[in-house]
Chain A
Amino acid sequence: MDLGRDPRAGILVALLFAIALYPLLLRSDYALGAAITVGTMAIATVGFVLLLGYARQLAIGQAAFCTIGGYGSALLVIRAQWDPFVAMIAAMGVSMTVAYLVGRPILKLHGFVLAMASLALQLILGFVATEWSELTGGAIGLSGVPRFAILGWQVGGDRALFYVVWCAVALAVLAGLNVDRSRIGRELRAIASSERAASSIGIDLGQAKVQMFVLSAGMASIAGSLTVHYLRLMEPGVFGFQYSLNIITAVVIGGLGSIWGGVLGAGIIIGLREALRLTSQPSFEGVVMGALTIVILLLFPRGVAGGIADLYRIATRRVSDATEKRATAAPGDAFRDLAGDDSILTLDRVARRFGNLVAVDKVGFTVARGSITALIGPNGAGKTTLLNMISGDQPLNGGEIRFNGARIDRLSAHRVARRGIARTFQNLELFDTMTVAENVMCGRTRHAGTNVAAIVARLPGVGREERKMSEEAERWLAFVGLGDAGARWPNTLAFGHQRLVELARSLALEPDLLLLDEPASGLNDSETEQLADLILRIRARGITILLVEHDIRLVMGLADHVVVMNHGEKIAEGAPAMVRADKLVLSAYLGA
């Protein structure tokens, strides 16, 4: 953010001052302890915002990683005399490894299984901690944990620990914000908006989710380690089920969509808990947390942070300053050779059944490199099903598909996309929660080189890649004729323009093959004409096109090669003129 003119910068500075002065102004152990507790929890909740709010994955046993952090630190420091900082990092490594091993397979499954899996993990760790008393001290736990130290530098006293903890909070928030405004943040929003469209542009759904799970586990682990150094002991009850629930409630109250919401939520939760203690009603903790979770999600799903954002917007009444960038020259100069008449895509006896219904029956054809091939046929002929099988959205019941010579019929959709096959959808699948430019930037995932660690730390390469992505997006938008629409929201555009945004997003992949599913449906005549012109320009860039279309005029004017399907079978193929004269085709279309 621009520190000079953004009023939010002022708020941030005030916030930092408040935190810095807090232990100096409030000179009570109780206030200091509460603030440390809030801070440690905030580290965990910021991570949890990434998991629940961004990746939309619910983990009921997040405190499992606090447990690993807590015992890891306590054991390494007490039993092996490690430096507390080193021990904390080592425990974090263990937590993240466990999260990866559990999350990588499980996050591929649907149906909230991570929720139960993480709970199972927490319960197992709880049992192990209680039973393996030679190591963990059993139910009594480990006492005599020394004060925190960083590579020999002793953190003497709670006031110093307060600053260490809140520095860690700041780092966690920074990491979260870095993810938020990176390609991973966009990928997560894309997944939340439409999983199908996200995988069609090469976003690995499982990977994006597992990255957030691992990241959140790392932060939870740090929260655990620091807590143990504050309490100076570790026992199984410190991070029980209630702690997991409090993390969830904190994030819900604070605001699911905002990294700051995690910090706010932690403050509110600890505040509530302390208030209940002071009024000697501690048993009401669960009642309050449960009720708040329900009420907030039902009535204010964006939480306190969402409310503050709304108030801020009302107060400043700023119209979004659409930073309109001019369209630069035509995109990339990666003009590819139209390498003669060799085939880019080959389908061989491809079949698909739904129960007894044969949707696609042993269809085979090839798409020549650099051609515009059209797939036509009456409704229910199996065209879209076939397209879905090529793009990886549906499995095959038989046959094989080869792309650039290699089989792709068993690859999942995002892998097909990464090989260089992009697609558009019959019913538009744009990401409504992002601007037009961000939508198109999502299409660059295939070309992204920076990894999640670099993004979290915002290494210099990340900024460069962001700028490059943004430039590419602008260029492809200009290519489809929407050079000035980048800052707008997709749903404010006319329908025909939304189609073009989707096309630009697919082109941003720089695919070898582009699959278009009824690109002209819903367009008027002049828009259809522009589309035809655009398709020719795309082909001129060396991109092969396979198009499913109802508009026969469009097809006959554009295509080099036409494949006709009816009732799941291929009934004819050839040059447009030849196909048009085919008796079978005529009877299929006219019912004669």
Chain B
Amino acid sequence: MEFATLAQFALSGLTTGCVYALVAIGFVLCANVSGIVNFAQGEYVMVGGIVTAGLVAMQVPLYAAILAAILLGAALGFLQERLTVAPIRRAPLFLQATVALGVAVLIRSVALVVWGKDPYGMSGFLGDDVFLLLGAYLPLQTIFVWGATAIFLGATFWLLKYTELGRAIRAIAINPRAARLMGIKTGRISMLVFIASGASGALGGAVIAPITSASWDAGLEFGVKGFTGAIIGGFRSPFWATVAALGLGVLESLAAGYVSSEAKDIITYGLLLLYLMIRGGVFTFGGRAAAAADQH
């Protein structure tokens, strides 16, 4: 196995992994504050990509297009939370989750109506040149993907760890009722988290669009893969979700490179299935959870 080839696959995988990580962290944070899996998470990435690429194709300046995409993502997150999450906070969880799925379907279907079936390509923010790293040739756009992800994740982790808001989010994740009794405004925080998830997803979509091209149905894939990262990372921990999502991106790229591009998705989705089956104890017989595992 040649090192340069390995680096080529691994580093391109890291790039898609960055977007999965942005989705995964959105999944985890939304689940922490609302208790549901936000199925619309992947659609925000799609919206970010398609709005950026679509506006650039209409000769809108690049920075304005990116800004518009992020704002739209944030606005959608805000609307989703206010209109479909907050009003039914007391409804059974399966109902809330089904509503979130409805939101995802609505967003992708509207995208289909507005932007049509054909994918939108666009050139990199600094053109379509490549650079050499560890023997791998990478598009210049890669730097934007890595940079944007690093900045966003860094800010998120800093926020969670060192600010009042971050502590409140973590408190809600552990025990929403107690958090509310301690005076934490759970409603407002839930809203903020959904806005941030919408914006970060759209940002991810904007920076990856030149590499993957943007299409109305891309959200599904980003969603499932981000979810895979989140679940393998344990779903409660933003950090491990990020690590797992990045790893998934790399693994998928290696599978595409060394096996075949068709095998790529079968392998990742198969991995998700297999992981869940093992977690659920396909090899063990139902017993009480071990004491160490449920000490929140």
Query: From A114, which residue of chain B is reached at the shortest CB distance?
Result: B276
Give the shortest distance, in Å, between B96 (CB) and chain A (any CB). 9
User: In the bound complex, how far is the Cα of B232 from the Cα of A109, in angstroms?
Assistant: 13
- Give the size category of B's interface with A: 35 or more
User: In the bound complex, how far is the Cα of B84 from the Cα of A19, in angstroms?
Assistant: 38
Q: Across the interface, do A293 and B99 meet the contact criterion of CB distance under 8 Å?
A: yes
Q: Across the interface, do B288 and A412 meet the contact criterion of CB distance under 8 Å?
A: yes
Q: Does B39 contact A (CB under 8 A)?
A: yes
Q: Does B294 contact A (CB under 8 A)?
A: yes
Q: Does B165 contact A (CB under 8 A)?
A: no
Q: Does B75 contact A (CB under 8 A)?
A: no
Chain B 78-117, CB within 8 Å of chain A: the 1/0 string? 0000001001100111110111011111111110110000
Q: With A57-B94, A297-B95, A395-B290 given, is the CB distance from A105 to B277 under 8 Å?
A: yes
Q: Across the interface, do B113 and A283 meet the contact criterion of CB distance under 8 Å?
A: yes
User: In the bound complex, how far is the Cα of B106 from the Cα of A410, in angstroms?
Assistant: 46
**Partner among A121, A241, A353, A410 whose Cβ is within 8 Å of the Cβ of B220:** A241
User: In the bound complex, how far is the Cα of B279 from the Cα of A131, in angstroms?
Assistant: 29
Q: Does B199 contact A (CB under 8 A)?
A: no
Q: Does B272 contact A (CB under 8 A)?
A: yes
**Partner among B109, B287, B288, B294 whose Cβ is within 8 Å of the Cβ of A290:** B109
Q: Across the interface, do A56 and B291 meet the contact criterion of CB distance under 8 Å?
A: no
Q: Does A411 contact B (CB under 8 A)?
A: yes
Q: Across the interface, do B220 and A290 meet the contact criterion of CB distance under 8 Å?
A: no
Query: From B35, which residue of chain A is reached at the shortest CB distance?
Result: A111
Within 8 A of B (CB), among A547-590: none
Q: Does A108 contact B (CB under 8 A)?
A: yes
Q: Across the interface, do A116 and B224 meet the contact criterion of CB distance under 8 Å?
A: yes
Q: Across the interface, do A123 and B282 meet the contact criterion of CB distance under 8 Å?
A: no
**Partner among B109, B235, B265, B280 whose Cβ is within 8 Å of the Cβ of A287:** B109
Within 8 A of B (CB), among A279-300: 283-287, 289-294, 297-298
User: In the bound complex, how far is the Cα of B93 from the Cα of A345, in angstroms?
Assistant: 38
Name B's interface SS. helix
Q: Across the interface, do A289 and B291 meet the contact criterion of CB distance under 8 Å?
A: no
Q: Across the interface, do B227 and A294 meet the contact criterion of CB distance under 8 Å?
A: no
Q: Across the interface, do A411 and B273 meet the contact criterion of CB distance under 8 Å?
A: no
**Chain B residue contacts of A241, Cβ below 8 A:** 220
**Chain B residue contacts of A90, Cβ below 8 A:** none
Q: Does A539 contact B (CB under 8 A)?
A: no
Q: Across the interface, do B269 and A206 meet the contact criterion of CB distance under 8 Å?
A: no
User: In the bound complex, how far is the Cα of B273 from the Cα of A355, in angstroms?
Assistant: 33
Chain A 38-66, CB within 8 Å of chain B: the 1/0 string? 00000000000000100011101000000
Q: Across the interface, do B276 and A115 meet the contact criterion of CB distance under 8 Å?
A: no
Q: Does A427 contact B (CB under 8 A)?
A: no
Q: Does A119 contact B (CB under 8 A)?
A: yes
**Chain B residue contacts of A131, Cβ below 8 A:** 262
Q: Does A523 contact B (CB under 8 A)?
A: no
User: In the bound complex, how far is the Cα of B110 from the Cα of A284, in angstroms?
Assistant: 8
Q: Does B278 contact A (CB under 8 A)?
A: yes
Q: Across the interface, do A105 and B278 meet the contact criterion of CB distance under 8 Å?
A: yes
User: In the bound complex, how far is the Cα of B107 from the Cα of A469, in angstroms?
Assistant: 49
Query: From B264, which residue of chain A is reached at the shortest CB distance?
Result: A127
Chain A 308-345, CB within 8 Å of chain B: the 1/0 string? 00000000000000000000000000000000000000
Name A's interface SS. helix
Query: From B80, which residue of chain A is reached at the shortest CB distance?
Result: A294
Query: From A241, which residue of chain B is reached at the shortest CB distance?
Result: B220
Q: Across the interface, do A293 and B272 meet the contact criterion of CB distance under 8 Å?
A: no
User: In the bound complex, how far is the Cα of B105 from the Cα of A127, in angstroms?
Assistant: 21
User: In the bound complex, how far is the Cα of B36 from the Cα of A159, in angstroms?
Assistant: 45
**Partner among A120, A287, A294, A354 whose Cβ is within 8 Å of the Cβ of B103:** A294
**Chain A residue contacts of B277, Cβ below 8 A:** 101-102, 105-106
User: In the bound complex, how far is the Cα of B216 from the Cα of A287, in angstroms?
Assistant: 13
Q: Does A113 contact B (CB under 8 A)?
A: yes
Number of residues in A with C-beta < 8 Å to the partner? 63
Q: Across the interface, do A105 and B288 meet the contact criterion of CB distance under 8 Å?
A: no
Query: From B106, which residue of chain A is reached at the shortest CB distance?
Result: A290
Give the shortest distance, in Å, between B215 (CB) and chain A (any CB). 14
User: In the bound complex, how far is the Cα of B287 from the Cα of A412, in angstroms?
Assistant: 5
Q: Across the interface, do A108 and B106 meet the contact criterion of CB distance under 8 Å?
A: no
Q: Across the interface, do B92 and A56 meet the contact criterion of CB distance under 8 Å?
A: yes
**Chain A residue contacts of B91, Cβ below 8 A:** 301
**Chain A residue contacts of B273, Cβ below 8 A:** 102, 117, 120-121, 124
**Partner among A52, A285, A409 whose Cβ is within 8 Å of the Cβ of B98:** A52
Q: Does A252 contact B (CB under 8 A)?
A: yes
Q: Across the interface, do B99 and A104 meet the contact criterion of CB distance under 8 Å?
A: no
Q: With A116-B231, A120-B224, A127-B265 given, is the CB distance from A52 to B94 under 8 Å?
A: yes
**Chain B residue contacts of A102, Cβ below 8 A:** 273, 277
**Partner among A285, A294, A352 whose Cβ is within 8 Å of the Cβ of B99:** A294
Give the shortest distance, in Å, between A306 (CB) and chain B (any CB). 13
Q: What are the 10 A-B residue pairs with the smallest beta carbon separation, nearest first?
A: A286-B109, A105-B280, A290-B106, A293-B102, A290-B105, A395-B291, A120-B269, A294-B102, A105-B282, A56-B94
Interfacial residues, chain A to chain B (CB-CB below 8 A): 52, 56-58, 60, 101-102, 104-109, 111-113, 115-117, 119-121, 123-124, 127-128, 131, 192, 206, 241, 245, 248-249, 252, 256, 283-287, 289-294, 297-298, 301, 352-355, 392, 395-397, 409-413, 415
Name 12 extra pairs, CB < 8 A, besides A116-B37, A124-B270. Answer: A58-B94, A102-B277, A106-B276, A115-B37, A206-B286, A256-B95, A285-B109, A290-B102, A290-B104, A297-B95, A301-B95, A397-B291
Interfacial residues, chain B to chain A (CB-CB below 8 A): 31, 36-37, 39, 84, 87-88, 91-95, 97-99, 101-110, 112-113, 220, 224, 227-228, 231, 235, 262, 265-266, 269-270, 272-273, 276-282, 286-291, 294-295
Q: List 15 A-B contacts (CB under 8 A).
A: A58-B101, A101-B277, A104-B280, A106-B277, A112-B37, A117-B273, A120-B224, A286-B108, A290-B104, A290-B107, A294-B106, A297-B95, A298-B88, A354-B295, A395-B288
